[in-house]
A and B are shown apart, each in its own frame.
Chain A
Amino acid sequence: MTDIAGIPGGATPAESGGSLGPAGGTVAIAVAAQRMAPTRWRLLLRRPTFIVGAAIIVFWVVCAVFGRLIAPYNPLAQQLLFANTGPSGTHWFGTDPLGRDVLSRVLVGARDILIVTPLATILGTILGTALGLAMGYFGGALDLIAGRLVEAVLALPAVIISFLFIVALGASKITLIIVIGFIFTPLIARTVRAAVLTERHLDYLSSARLLGERPLRVMFGEILPNVLPAILVEFTVRLGYAVFAVATLSFLGFGVQPPTPDWGSDIAANYTGLLAGYWWQTLFPALAIASLVTAVNLITDSIEQVLNA
């Protein structure tokens, strides 16, 4: 299985070659989700893993929205006299080589990753769902050809492909969203297709066909609502991968460009400072990323636990 910058541990197990089979895990969970009563949602809200994860995300969202108001300093304000000072009473997280307050940059830096990640995942989900629906519903030649293409594309290391396109298109938020979205498309298509296939034999489909309903209506009107749980679960899992991917690509310099504060780019700009011992400039943004990754994984985990109970 290929993913941006490689994130193992997702819901779908790896498989080399072969058919588009192993989205089964996610589908099984999603089938369970369909039977989920409203009380399950309440169970979810009570789980400590979910609460902790949600709390962290809410915290960062607040920072993303109100960062400028909360931050003690202007994240762009340079105070060259105080460059590279360690954590202290005036600068809790120290300062960077341009004398900017690291704490403020960390707080405001939540913004871009929290914008890019969901948008990229949503793009991938929309495209992947459309493709998966088409492949599952029409089957036949379309499925065969598209399936082979999807397999072949999935056999490539995603991080490398994304490299190419980001260089070609130029680094920016939009590029990130598009590239990550496209990378996710075949993965999500595979899961959606598997979910559609489990639906295809059911009666409501044959009756829809008998009534002569047009394929688009059937796909989006009838099948889609029923595979929605599978899509939602897949979306949550991909969200975790997306955080990983966006952070990594930002670190590699393909994300937000300076001087905008961003966790990944700040690390990219300052990691050479580690050799000189300026650890605070990179450690705090790194911990921020770690907290977000953990939070998303906690939420994904709690959803899976509730559905499997």
Chain B
Amino acid sequence: MAMFLLRRLGLMILTLWILSLIVFFAGQILPGDPGRAILGPLARENSVQALDHQLGVDRPLLTRYLSWIGGLVHGNFGTSYTYRTAVEPFVRAALINSVKLALLAFVIVVPLGIIGGVIAALYSGRAVDRVISVSGLSLSAMPEFVTGIVLIVIFGVELKALPVTASAGTGAGVFNQFRHLILPAIPLVLILFGYIARMARAGTIEALNSDYARTAVLKGLPQTTVIRRHILRNSLLPTITVIATQTGYLIGGLVVVETLFNYQGIGNLIFKAAQAKDFAMLEAGVLTIGVVYVLATLAADLLLIALNPRLRIGASDD
């Protein structure tokens, strides 16, 4: 097991390194000149050159890369071209906002998906199963902004039931904040629901058909106890780890949903940075998201190990 962990960590480091290379490389192929971008089109040429020299853009590639990495490690994310100040506080605030939205989506979709999947498995082959499986899959293939727009039109415009803007305004209470986040959370929920339900369903069906389920039933346990105590913890094992790896989809969805609802999360941050060609902000945002994503995947693996006794303990004896 230690070997497994070591391999995973190694892979994670490799991934992060490749991410840094990709981000750095993308930055290099961006046309234009950082000094010029910061100072603007009206600044004089020698000011631009001086700033460029200060920024170190005339140094060799490798040196630039290394000092950039060095800066990152120390928390220096560079200077925003648009706002002319440090990038880091923007990224931090945006990340927190995104986490709130993501958490809400997770809190809704995980129980919903699991319950849906388990029910579909228990009634496998019958109408309930078909409905859950098919609707789950078709909804999850819909781009988030499509579902988002439909939701806005129905709930925001026609029914006026839920707030359409995601931000409740500064200083709003927790409950109000989350109330505003419900509509934006739903497209994320729909994307993830199909996949989670499908995994839960598959896991539950496999558990139901297993020998140990047979043993439990033939012990004389009531159906609900069999499901609760024997089936669920085995069927949900793959589901739980899959949930953690859904962060990838969640992140993609965050960008779209935050843009659509104009929510100041990190997805929206990089979107605006991309529009404004504020590469420092974009880089920082991308790196942050990348790191969070890689960490989440690692957490998923650790969770799998923690929950699955077979992976946790070493060789058997006797």
Contact = CB atoms under 8 A, between A and B. Distances in A.
Interface of A: 1-9, 13-17, 148-149, 151-153, 155-161, 163-169, 240, 244, 247-248, 251-254, 267, 271, 274-275, 277, 279, 282-283, 286-287, 289-290, 293-294, 297
Contacts of A4: 252
B71 to A, nearest CB: 18
A192 B58 CA distance: 43
Nearest to A282: B149
Interface in B265-293: 270-271, 274-275, 277, 279, 282-283, 286, 289-290, 293
A160 B289 contact: yes
B248 A9 contact: no
B146 interface: yes
Q: Which 8 A-B pairs have the closest CB atoms?
A: A6-B249, A6-B252, A8-B195, A159-B252, A5-B252, A164-B26, A152-B15, A155-B15
Mostly, the B contact residues are helix
A195 B15 CA distance: 25
Given A8-B140, A254-B274, 6 more contacts: A1-B245, A9-B137, A14-B245, A152-B15, A252-B259, A252-B271
B290 A290 contact: no
A254 B271 CA distance: 10
Q: Using C-beta atoms within 8 Å of the partner chain, give the interface range for chain B.
A: 35 or more
Contacts of B294: 155-156
A148 B149 contact: no
A17 to B, nearest CB: 5
Contacts of B244: 16
Interface residues of chain A: helix, strand, loop or mixed (majority): helix
Given A248-B144, A286-B149, A271 B248 contact: no
A157 B270 CA distance: 14
A240 to B, nearest CB: 6
A17 B194 contact: no
Contacts of A251: 143, 145, 256, 259-260
A148 B145 contact: no
Contacts of A153: 15, 18
A105 to B, nearest CB: 16
A157 B290 contact: yes
B112 interface: no
Given A8-B249, A293-B142, A155 B297 contact: yes
A157 B300 contact: no
A252 B146 CA distance: 12
B237 interface: no
Contacts of B251: 6, 157, 159-160
A4 B150 CA distance: 22
Contact of B157 (A1, A15, A279, A286): A279
A244 B156 CA distance: 24
Contact of B8 (A17, A168, A271, A290): A17
A9 B193 CA distance: 10
Contact of B242 (A14, A158, A275): A14
